[in-house]
Structure 1
């Protein structure tokens, strides 16, 4: 069938899931269009540095260097051969009635699609700590991107806080690069980490690799800490106040803090595309509902960390599955998926082990003082959210309307989970009962001029 008569299949995201989805479709004789915010494919996990960068792939990606290189080469080859269309440096800012609103260098274009594969990935899941609104506080992902893309550490003396594999990974990467990492503070105690151990055995080599990275941190790593507050002056962060597992007060001087509690699925476009959601008690967040293949209904398919938080390996498999589902629904021959589904089940066991071992710090969030800033975009405090909960009846979007939490530049990406946790505590219910903030277009900030078209 000629390209002109082929169904128009759009893929949003050129990370591991998007690349594998595109390759699967190309192998079936289709010509997908891949839209990605980056200049080059790879996603966040396999982000590529600019031309002329002197650090090697081994230094950038560690043991994943070969896998990253293979994905990069595969996508580049398909694009160079004209077998797919790559819309780089472009953001999908809205989905409406079978059309994507795409923001690029030439403004906003409206592109229709027959099938849509969303491989939007995930971002850092952060929890407010008193003082986190000050200059010098970044997410772990931001610290990692700066190291990968520019070869720089974001501070001269660094403290990392949070929990999960990324905390250990970024700490080890910074130490290896020669950065001064003063402390790595994990809110998950040792006994909690041991609870997830039996599920982590589903991927023993990955678990062992994490332990090796942990060992490289040495005495910098502290488990079961309580985060008190971030101290700052007019120039930015100056120190982290915390308590160790024994309850002793500690102070670590620093000029940069990186924070993160595993990942938060990027779901704004899935919401606008009409996908249903369900609250996952273990991950403590709302996730889109799909079948095992990634079908979300209405010609929409989801793949990668935007639907299941399974890491890069899981994202690759999910991309293949979503493309196979798309092909089957189009009545075209699709690759066998049995082996993929079995491997995906093993990856899900491992991911559940991570969620158990490194949980979201719900108790810490609910204990925030009233003057602690929760929404950094709009400077909304925990006290204001509590007042909104009293008047809003414990429903997420009413509290949002009353307090403006989640109405800023990030659209709740960094504050929603904490805000919902506070509302649930105030209302005496579960976060799932509070609901989630509704996504609004545009899902990314866009200049007004981008919407203006020549008559």
Structure 2
């Protein structure tokens, strides 16, 4: 393509971003791919540094072949000069067709004609009394440490939450030789069976998950009630919980990993003006797109940032978003019918997961007043409940009055819980109180980075 060709920018170099880039390159364009990682792969297929001794099979298990294929594909396209890889860079703001990208040299402004957002997802966490203590991490953080550095974040580990990632991380840590004391799932066996027909859409994947759980043996407990994370001046000391029979248990540990499946990373979609809808199945706000990922105004969304379908779904969605982009530019695009059928099957499976491993809304709404909800700003449940009355039960008013969601993470960890508390106080469903609006910069940025390019 010549210099007058439309500029296509892809944000994210995980499975969705890589597949989108490949389709765009095949059409003759040279896209710019912006990614926070130094090497492509995303969170699910995160690559370790050079010289790392663990093999892809050890890092990615049954997904090793897929990870290797994506890595090789992207590296080849970059080496051949068929795409431009803007590595180690964060898109922190966007307005009027301009992207403000933070890299080692500061903030640069990049113009685009078409924008494909493949921003992925992060851990969906729920507050547990004591979770602000040192030694409490998300499941994703534990997985990053294991994949990128080959280390466990504690000597004796307890994992809490629900969903496939809970047992996957537990099995990965156990396989690596870590001492996993307990894996505590808030979803009961009976609840997990409710999603059977959805999970049957991908029987091999479901059986693989059961096999991972079997490896954990008696360390896995379903239907638990999480009471409190015990800690002293040095950090976590134990997890206090009740088993399915109501018996109180205390498991000593020095590290806790937590997570209830995933939450879509939607801050950039918000800044570019996408519309949102509340998804009752996932109990979170998600961007609105058509089946191909079109969000309007030359913006396309793909991957877990719009549909929580995992790595396989992200690859498909990346191809579909790129095909929609090409079609809208008047270029020949790959046929989408096969990918759309595959996507429908993955959506049935994801629906089964959401049903079997739900967000613990009742647990969040029952939080004690002194429980910290926003760790960045140290805002407890009492403050949010009190401000809900002053704010008329509207999420952003409560945010401004309480400062919940205004810290370093920009609400990524407290948003869903805060909305649950506001809704409970207002006596309505979460969708009625709205959501925290995204603000720029979406990542912390040093003032000096702007001054160097002022």
- The alignment status of 1:379 with 2:384, answered yes or no, reads no
- The alignment status of 1:97 with 2:96, answered yes or no, reads yes
- The alignment status of 1:313 with 2:300, answered yes or no, reads no
Q: Equivalent residues in 2 for 1:126-275 (5 A)?
A: 126-275=125-274
Distance 1:301 1:196 in 2: 30
Report deviation, 1:240: 0.2
Report deviation, 1:5: 1.7
Distance 1:267 1:100 in 2: 16
SS of 2:140 mapped into structure 1: helix
Tell me which stretches of 4 or more aligned residues in structure 1 moved more than 3 Å.
Answer: none
Q: Structure 1 residues 20, 454: CA separation in 2 closer, same or farther (over 3 Å shift)?
A: closer
CA contact (8 A) 2:131 2:229 kept: yes
2:341 equivalent in structure 1:
342
Query: TM-score, with normalisation over the residues of structure 1?
Result: 0.99
Distance 2:240 2:72 in 1: 46
Report deviation, 1:267: 0.1
1:287 equivalent in structure 2:
286
CA contact (8 A) 2:303 2:315 kept: yes
Q: Equivalent residues in 2 for 1:36-75 (5 A)?
A: 36-75=35-74
Report deviation, 1:454: 5.7
Distance 1:127 1:434 in 2: 18
Distance 1:344 1:144 in 2: 26
1:30 equivalent in structure 2:
29
2:424 equivalent in structure 1:
425
CA contact (8 A) 2:107 2:453 kept: no
CA contact (8 A) 2:239 2:253 kept: yes
1:10 equivalent in structure 2:
9
- The alignment status of 1:113 with 2:112, answered yes or no, reads yes
Report deviation, 1:434: 0.7
Distance 1:145 1:250 in 2: 29
User: What value does the CA root-mean-square deviation take over the aligned residues?
Assistant: 0.6
5+ residue gaps, structure 1, are none
Distance 2:167 2:133 in 1: 24
Report deviation, 1:35: 0.1
Query: TM-score, with normalisation over the residues of structure 2?
Result: 1.00
SS of 1:5 mapped into structure 2: coil
SS of 2:393 mapped into structure 1: coil
Deviations 1:69-118 (A, max 9, x none): 00000000000000000000000000101110000001000111000000
1:415 equivalent in structure 2:
414
- The alignment status of 1:365 with 2:357, answered yes or no, reads no
SS of 1:101 mapped into structure 2: strand
Deviations 1:389-433 (A, max 9, x none): 011010000000110000000000000000000000000000000
Report deviation, 1:133: 0.1
Distance 1:310 1:363 in 2: 25
Deviations 1:323-350 (A, max 9, x none): 0000000000000010000000000000
Report deviation, 1:6: 1.3
Report deviation, 1:453: 3.3
Distance 1:261 1:452 in 2: 40
Q: Structure 1 residues 283, 55: CA separation in 2 closer, same or farther (over 3 Å shift)?
A: same
- The alignment status of 1:401 with 2:364, answered yes or no, reads no
5+ residue gaps, structure 2, are none
CA contact (8 A) 2:106 2:453 kept: no
SS of 2:158 mapped into structure 1: strand
